Chains A and B, each alone.
Chain A
């Protein structure tokens, strides 16, 4: 029983991390129907950005977590946003009116580029790098279940930011412009909505969330490597598809489902954690077969 509860808690924390990344996939898809495969790398780059920020701090600040941690978040987010904006401007915007396959392949290229760029240019990036210990240590004990404070923080940030994002999209001028552009870009233009601005804003929002996720990932697991973007990107992508690509709520719920499947399958299914990927993709395949639009997606309609 206590093992189950512990794994449920771990699953929720994993889900919170995946949700922060999955939102970036789902928002960009919602607006320009592009699966941005490079989004996982934005998350990875943010993690290194946070680490670099810490490395560059003067020694006395390194010893003060209350200053160092927020600065690492700022550093990670700034790097993520810069990468995302440059990527949108130079890799995707020129292909805005190209067949869908072109930007998709470009996204794969950008993904490989970012991974290799970090490998080549970041000092010692070929091996796992330890993440600075500026995060709150210890955790919460509920009976036999232990939850690290970093896990609690991760869930809080993930849920909080999702709610803010959802409110923003539903109840603000730019949020309405985003939804209008997603539903009918040409008509949105005729209402005075600038599509370039809406698309850049979408990439920026995704990058901010990925930035938070990147730094929190380091804090929760204590070390980072250049494969983290690919692995978690795949989970997040799966979560977005499971929830219905384009749906904010779907991505968050899908992410928690994926997180739970991962930890529970790792515990209880034959093969253990070595096979947890397998079960996640079994779920993905079942969803694609029986409910291709995902849990909260709208069935694709052909526009008149």
Chain B
């Protein structure tokens, strides 16, 4: 069996008295798309923060290609994990192209002095970064917007720009935090196609999303997180059919609740 590209082993995260994550385990095999769903406050974003070095798990560990993830976000990016954010976090006063080029930062060799003296190595490096960034912008479908300030883009374009910026770090794993939030059905469909195309380039993907239909249509495997615990994990078919998932999302079916009330009354009597 080959080593999974990303593996979270028994990850727990405690903030003061709050247990945000309780022993979550997740395995991402190369070339797969894994979905992470769960009600609000289930710990999905906290889990992403543990996977990117923003938080150090209280217990447990995260492995990237079998190696323990470094504890510093910049090094995690260098090692090959990139992400986008639930609430878009572009650099608002930089242009579209510059945003992607910042993503290129870790893959550029240019030191502080080389860029001061604008030697041939500087020009080669800048050109390579610019070309690669344009390529990625075209890949996500943002053409001819290079010099626009990122804050002026429409919402859906900002989400795609964030994905291009994340891809610019040449990740092995891409973490997408609610990539279709606020999108209309056409945009959601386009995002799904985009994620499939990203997988084709050899990047493995973890997606957080509330849109169940989107997740089930996209992912090879789905993990359900409820109150910091991994409730169910499996193929979309298995997860969809699991009564506990339905319960976590919709509550218990009415007859069952009545049953429990009856039972409780019985106990009291």
CB pair A174–B73 under 8 Å, yes or no, is no
Inter-chain CA distance A298–B94, complex, in Å, is 13
Separation of A152 and B116 alpha carbons in the complex (Å): 24
A195 proximity list for chain B (CB < 8 A)? 74
Stretch of A2-10, A105-113, A128-136, A185-193 on the interface side: A185-193
Question: Which residues of B, 62-88, contact A by the 8 Å Cβ criterion?
Answer: 72-74, 76-78, 82-83, 85, 87
By beta carbon, the residue of chain A nearest B76 is A190
* Interface pair B115/A173, CB less than 8 Å apart: yes
Query: Is the pair A183, B112 in contact by a Cβ cutoff of 8 Å?
Result: no
Question: Once bound together, how far apart are the Cα atoms of A130 and B139, in whole Å?
Answer: 64
Residues of B within 8 A of A187 (CB): 85, 89-91
- Contact of A190 with B77 at beta-carbon distance under 8 Å, contacts A172-B122, A179-B91 already known: yes
Give the shortest distance, in Å, between A75 (CB) and chain B (any CB).
20
Known A-B contacts A173-B129, A174-B112; the reply to A193 vs B102 at CB < 8 A is: yes
A302 to chain B minimum Cβ distance, whole angstroms, is: 12
A176, B73: Cβ atoms under 8 Å?
A: no
Q: Which of A175, A189, A191, A194 contacts B103 (CB 8 A)?
A: A191
Q: How far is the CB of B97 from chain A (nearest CB, A)?
A: 10
Chain B residues in 8 Å Cβ range of A298:
93
Which residue of chain B has the shortest Cβ distance to A187 in the bound complex?
B89
Chain A nearest CB from B32 CB (Å) reads: 23
Does A209 sit at the interface, judged by CB under 8 A?
Answer: no
| A194 x B91 contact (CB < 8 A) | no
Chain B positions 94-131 with a Cβ under 8 Å from a chain A Cβ: 94, 98, 101-103, 105-106, 108, 110-112, 115-116, 122, 125-126, 129
Quick check: B77 and A184 within 8 Å, CB to CB?
no
Smallest Cβ-Cβ distance to A188: which chain B residue: B102
Nearest Cβ on chain B to A134's Cβ, whole angstroms: 27
In whole Å, how far is B75's beta carbon from the nearest beta carbon of chain A? 8
Nearest Cβ on chain B to A14's Cβ, whole angstroms: 28
The interface on chain A, measured as residues whose beta carbon lies within 8 A of the other chain's beta carbons, has a size of 26
Whole-angstrom distance from the CB of B19 to the nearest CB of chain A? 24
| Contact status B91-A180, CB under 8 Å | yes
A62 to B76, CA, bound (A): 53
Q: Does B165 contact A (CB under 8 A)?
A: yes
Distance (Å) between the CB of B140 and the closest chain A CB?
Answer: 16
The residue in chain B whose Cβ has the minimal distance to the Cβ of A304 is B87
Q: How far is the CB of B244 from chain A (nearest CB, A)?
A: 34
A-B CB contacts (within 8 Å), total count: 85
List the B side residues contacting A172 at CB < 8 Å: 110, 115-116, 122, 126
Report the nearest B residue to A176, measured CB to CB: B102
In the complex, how many angstroms separate the beta carbon of A13 from the nearest chain B beta carbon? 26
Residues from chain B with a CB closer than 8 A to the CB of A177 are 102, 105
Q: Give the CA-CA distance A304 to B52 in the complex, in Å.
A: 21
The reply to whether B169 and A191 contact each other, CB–CB distance below 8 Å, is yes
A268 close to B (CB within 8 Å):
no
8 A Cβ contacts from B219-236 to A: none
Measured between beta carbons, the chain B residues less than 8 angstroms from A275 are none
Chain A neighbourhood of B89, CB < 8 A = 184, 186-187
Tell me how many residues of B have a C-beta within 8 Å of chain A: 36
Q: Which residues of chain A from 135 to 175 have any CB-CB distance to chain B below 8 Å in the complex?
A: 164, 168, 171-175
Interface check B92, CB cutoff 8 A: yes
- Knowing A172-B115, A192-B78, the reply to whether A179 touches B94 (Cβ < 8 A) is yes
Closest to B107 in A: A192
Q: Considering only CB atoms, which chain A residue lies closest to B103 in the complex?
A: A191
In Å, the complex CA distance between A179 and B165 comes to 15
Judge whether B54 is part of the interface by a CB distance below 8 angstroms. Answer: yes
Task: Give the complex CA separation of A304 and B158 in angstroms.
Answer: 15
Residues of A187-211 at the interface with B, using a CB-CB cut-off of 8 Å, are 187-195, 201
Interface pair B112/A189, CB less than 8 Å apart:
no
Cα A83 to Cα B85 in complex, Å, equals 39
Q: Are A173 and B125 in contact (CB under 8 A)?
A: yes
Least CB distance from A100 to B in Å reads 21
Q: Which residues of B contact A179 (CB under 8 A)?
A: 91, 93-94, 98
A189 near B91 with CB under 8 A, answer no
Kindly report which residue of chain A lies nearest to residue B108, judged by CB atoms: A173
Task: Judge whether A191 and B102 touch: CB under 8 Å.
Answer: yes
Q: How far is the CB of A250 from chain B (nearest CB, A)?
A: 14
Rounded to whole angstroms, the CA-CA distance of A184 and B78 in the bound complex is 19
The reply to whether B115 and A174 form a contact with Cβ atoms under 8 Å apart is: yes
A215 to B65, CA, bound (A): 54
Question: Would B92 and A173 count as touching, CB distance under 8 A?
Answer: no
A180 to B77, CA, bound (A): 15
Contact A191 B98 (CB under 8 A): no
Extra A-B contacts (16), CB below 8 Å, given A188-B102, A192-B78: A171-B115, A172-B110, A172-B116, A173-B126, A174-B110, A174-B112, A175-B115, A177-B105, A180-B105, A183-B94, A187-B90, A189-B72, A189-B73, A189-B77, A194-B74, A298-B93
Contact residues of A with B, CB < 8 Å?
164, 168, 171-177, 179-180, 183-184, 186-195, 201, 298, 304
Q: List 22 A-B contacts (CB under 8 A).
A: A172-B110, A172-B122, A173-B105, A173-B129, A174-B112, A174-B115, A175-B115, A176-B94, A176-B102, A179-B98, A180-B94, A183-B91, A183-B93, A190-B52, A190-B54, A190-B76, A190-B82, A190-B83, A191-B102, A191-B105, A192-B105, A201-B112
